[in-house]
Amino acid sequence: MATAEEKKANIKEQVYRDERPAEHFDRYHERARNKKPNIVYEVVRAATSLLGWIVYRVMSISPENVPDGPVILAPNHFSNLDHFFAGMAVRRHVRFMAKSQLFAPPMDWVYSNGGVFPVRRGARDEEVFITAKKILADGGCVLMYCEGGRSRTGGIGDEAKPGIGRLALETGVPIVPIAIHGSSEVRHWKRFVLPKVTVQYGDSIRWREKLDSTREDQQQLADTVLDRIRGLYSGLEGQSRRQVARAVRAAKRDRSNV
């Protein structure tokens, strides 16, 4: 099995800065704020779900933990397929943030019509928060990674980015921590490595709205979410996914009988 350093070496270096002006992305934000995903979302969802179920044998544990109404989904991030893995079992439109470099013809049309909106990493991008808040205000479901970009080590990142804390505190909506296990090996498909992927949805957590939150507040919240993700992931590392699913069902039965 490859070491963490070998895995890191095999990942293409990420490009964090997009040299195009912020105004270039206005039309994508405008669409995301004012229009819902169309048939493109359903087509992509169907195709990626088939890929997930057939090739990666995706198993979803407790997707019912995603509540109705506005919610932030917070998974760990290993693979470019993580957005789709996290959304497969959720019967609603999951709106993704994607790095702005992906918004170039012809795929920008697919992303925009599918409800995806760009984030300019390496820049202070206020537009991404305005868009996310508008979607949540309309009762939507936004997926945001605690770690920012993909993990470079094949393990959960050591530190959370404060952005998810800011979004949660400024909106007061719940966050569902999600552990995606197995997707760190997805990029090795050329070597015929086709891992089983497990997606576990944790209990939703909610903080009181705090419009004047400090960066320290935001970081503390983000760290808490990442700790919850790490806990879920550790459980999937230590047991088979069927054992985890049985334990989760048993715990819910116990709670309902109290």
Distance CA 1, CA 6 (A): 10
98/250 Cα distance (integer angstroms)? 37
The answer to whether the CB of 142 falls within 8 A of the CB of 72 is: yes
* H/E element, 76: none
Report the share of the chain in percent with pLDDT over 90: 78
This prediction's pTM: 0.91
CA distance 214 to 211: 9
What are the tens digits of pLDDT across the range 102-149? 999 999 999 999 999 999 987 889 999 999 999 999 999 999 999 988
Q: What is the pLDDT of residues 214-233, one digit of tens each?
A: 999 999 999 999 999 999 99
Distance in angstroms (rounded) separating the CA atoms of residues 226 and 176: 11
Tens-digit pLDDT profile for residues 60-101: 999 999 999 999 999 999 999 999 999 999 999 999 999 999
Q: For 19-257, give the CATH class.
A: alpha beta
Q: Which two tokens stand for residue 59?
A: 């198993």
* Residue ranges covered by each domain of the chain: 19-257
- The string of DSSP codes covering 137-203 is HTT-EEE--TTSS--SSSS--S---THHHHHHHHH---EEEEEEESGGGGGGGGGT-----EEEE--
Is the CB of residue 188 less than 8 Å from the CB of residue 109?
Answer: no
Phi and psi at residue 143, in whole multiples of 5°? -100, 130
Give the pLDDT of residue 224: 97
For 220, residues 6+ apart whose C-beta sits below 8 A from its C-beta are 165
